[in-house]
Structure 1
């Protein structure tokens, strides 16, 4: 006589999340490490520092272009195989950066590397949520994305220091090594998972017409724009307002990165409690902290304290936003999660532009946090509209 299955859902976080976090660590490191190596890269490739700075922009463009392309390319693949393939792209791209003999080839290698970014993080987030206990899905996603925040605390400064010692090309070799370790961890730790059923790519992309999905992506972009409208100019802001030296600013940025990490973990717990309240409350707190920063940035101690809290609040909304997009994108979670990460990069670029507007008009740096606060309040209003949209056209959601 056949007995009913007694297999219980998992109650602990799976160790596979460590492999996904390792991949995110490598991705976060390669995205931003070039900023600390600009003079070395520019001198070696025979370009100006502003031209070398476009390698950061090129990566962001690659993320945005690569997101839908890689989503389509991996749609019918088993998810473990897709993650391994994307790590392969990441490794090859970084090795190509290390070997690039000319500026043009370096630019192409950066764009190619970025193709793995959104797809790995998007599919990784879905895999983490599916492997986790039902009441800890957002926390699992947050732990995966912790690799990205730790990259800003350890990977970027460590890679910069290594590049100054061994040469900038060796930094990219080292990052490729991180990708190899992450790929091996995925191979050994992530269980085999079947591909999601995809009837047609047209139906997959039709999910992007849903108001709940679009509003979720818009909030992700606005959260990034709010952050980078200020973060882009944080060094001159601290130097001019608080009179902080370079060493003190570096320490402040490390503590800011610690705030990112704490915020991501807190946000995962809040999202498992209530996605919408976590988002709405987070946006309001970010806005208030940025208003406070216009005053607190005038003194080193208060500036750093505010930055830590701002870092926590900014990343506390990331897991709720990602979880919401996945929950609302029934039938195409991989695609929606991947494109949501591309939207985050669009927010990064637009935030830097918006934050620079008052400066280009002759205003001082204390006006920049007002821009970030305004964008955060706009995100809060969008969250209210999203909640209204839920009531008008409800969809079943896993974490509401």
Structure 2
């Protein structure tokens, strides 16, 4: 028998929208925390007398710890009230940013980044679980679109502000800003979020937690969804981490001008994220994912085969790239909330978040294997990344048809009986 969770009491429309924007702002702090490290690399190298590989290690520490935390969280995320767990993890995340800001040496900074990854990875899972608990399935695409604007906000406002502050007040200032902003959001979430404990009625005994975690990876439908998530994230990370150095070395864009490129892309996604979410609700997540993913092959290939063009042309192109790459995630994330049995939604989404982090790490690692700088100072091998990303995209377009929701699977036999 399929287990069910008592539906949450519907929130008034105004409060529901406020909750979604608070979740988006929470996610914004997590994304900004991760993204701002990369443009801070030159200042960190000067401050701690380290090599670029060491800065890359600090970035990697966050991603891998976020993946580990997602795996561990799937063992306990469904054992607590969603609101209380969000507030607790967000408080620890805020503390990790304070630790980054006051780090006396690079070793402490790396440990603080790892701590930020452990807490930030769990927050993403909790946010998606709250959407699954509060928002009916037919409106989750639009809800996910609102929360996904966090990426746009981070690209448009968060990272440029952090880099500007760092240039004037030192590398630690973006982390102090994150601490202040996180405290304000935490207080807003404490006041606005409702208690979400309807899933606790089917809480399993502690002795059953580990077998249930292993069981998540034995469900055929879950494995199909995990493969889609991992490949989707790997596709983007084959290309995205290397955009800035390629634009500087191969296209001739100045490092200071990179801000305008990302700003243009962020502004575009700020508007398109919600449009794609509503479109996903109208015509279905599967169909929208296929359309957007197929379209994304064009900007992926152009990005990795870009000729030397003027800065204004790069700025005009980048909104298409950002819209396509981030837009694929909106219908995919909405679909993921429907895959598991409702009582296991939190655990499934935690495991899925871990798979996404691992996919990101693998994509960045593999994407850098054959890149090298030639005698002219240009980065070679980037075009191969584009061909691999295009192939992975085509695979995901075909594979998404294998991913179905638990409610759909449960409804199918009933429909067949009715037809009979």
What range describes the TM-score normalised by the shorter chain of this pair?
0.7 to 0.9
Cα shift at 1:23: 0.8
Partner residue in 1 for 2:354: 342
CA distance 1:39–1:195, change in 2 (3 Å) = farther
Q: Kindly report which structure 2 residues correspond to 1:223-238, keeping only aligned pairs within 5 A, or say none.
A: 223-238=232-247
Partner residue in 2 for 1:16: 19
Partner residue in 2 for 1:332: 344
CA distance 1:244–1:101, change in 2 (3 Å) = closer
> Is this contact kept in 1: 2:64–2:361, CA < 8 A?
no
Q: For 2:128, which of 125, 129, 136 is the aligned residue?
A: 125
Does residue 373 of structure 1 match 2:390?
A: yes
CA distance 1:296–1:106, change in 2 (3 Å) = closer
Equivalent residues, number: 389
Q: Secondary structure at the match of 1:329?
A: coil
Partner residue in 2 for 1:311: 322
Partner residue in 2 for 1:4: none
> Is this contact kept in 2: 1:37–1:168, CA < 8 A?
yes
Aligned Cα RMSD in Å?
2.8
Does residue 281 of structure 1 match 2:284?
A: no
Does residue 272 of structure 1 match 2:272?
A: no
Output one character per residue of 1:88-125: Cα deviation in whole Å (capped at 9) or x when no partner.
Answer: 11011111112222322221111111112222111112
What is the alpha-carbon distance in structure 2 between the residues aligned to residue 204 and residue 91 of structure 1? Answer: 28
Q: Secondary structure at the match of 2:79?
A: coil
Q: Secondary structure at the match of 1:15?
A: helix
> Is this contact kept in 1: 2:66–2:121, CA < 8 A?
yes
Output one character per residue of 1:61-113: Cα deviation in whole Å (capped at 9) or x when no partner.
Answer: 11011112234343311111011001111011111112222322221111111
What is the alpha-carbon distance in structure 2 between the residues aligned to residue 265 and residue 332 of structure 1? Answer: 27
Range that drifts further, 261-270 or 356-365: 356-365
Unaligned ranges ≥5, structure 2: 1-8, 375-379, 413-420
Q: Secondary structure at the match of 1:17?
A: helix
Partner residue in 2 for 1:60: 63
Partner residue in 2 for 1:92: 95
Cα shift at 1:394: 2.7
> Is this contact kept in 1: 2:122–2:350, CA < 8 A?
yes
CA distance 1:205–1:264, change in 2 (3 Å) = farther
Does residue 215 of structure 1 match 2:224?
A: yes
Cα shift at 1:21: 1.1
CA distance 1:100–1:11, change in 2 (3 Å) = closer
> Is this contact kept in 1: 2:239–2:304, CA < 8 A?
no
Q: Secondary structure at the match of 1:104?
A: helix
Q: Kindly report which structure 2 residues correspond to 1:145-224, keeping only aligned pairs within 5 A, or say none.
A: 145-194=148-197, 196-197=199-200, 198-199=203-204, 200-201=208-209, 202-203=211-212, 205-224=214-233
CA distance 1:247–1:34, change in 2 (3 Å) = closer
Cα shift at 1:11: 5.3
> Is this contact kept in 1: 2:101–2:173, CA < 8 A?
yes
Partner residue in 2 for 1:111: 114
Query: Could you state the TM-score of these two structures normalised by the residue count of structure 1?
Result: 0.87
CA distance 1:144–1:205, change in 2 (3 Å) = farther
What is the alpha-carbon distance in structure 2 between the residues aligned to residue 376 and residue 195 of structure 1? Answer: 37
Unaligned ranges ≥5, structure 1: 1-6
Q: For 1:323, which of 334, 339, 360 is the aligned residue?
A: 334
Range that drifts further, 46-55 or 234-243: 234-243
> Is this contact kept in 1: 2:63–2:357, CA < 8 A?
yes
Query: Could you state the TM-score of these two structures normalised by the residue count of structure 2?
Result: 0.83
Cα shift at 1:205: 4.6
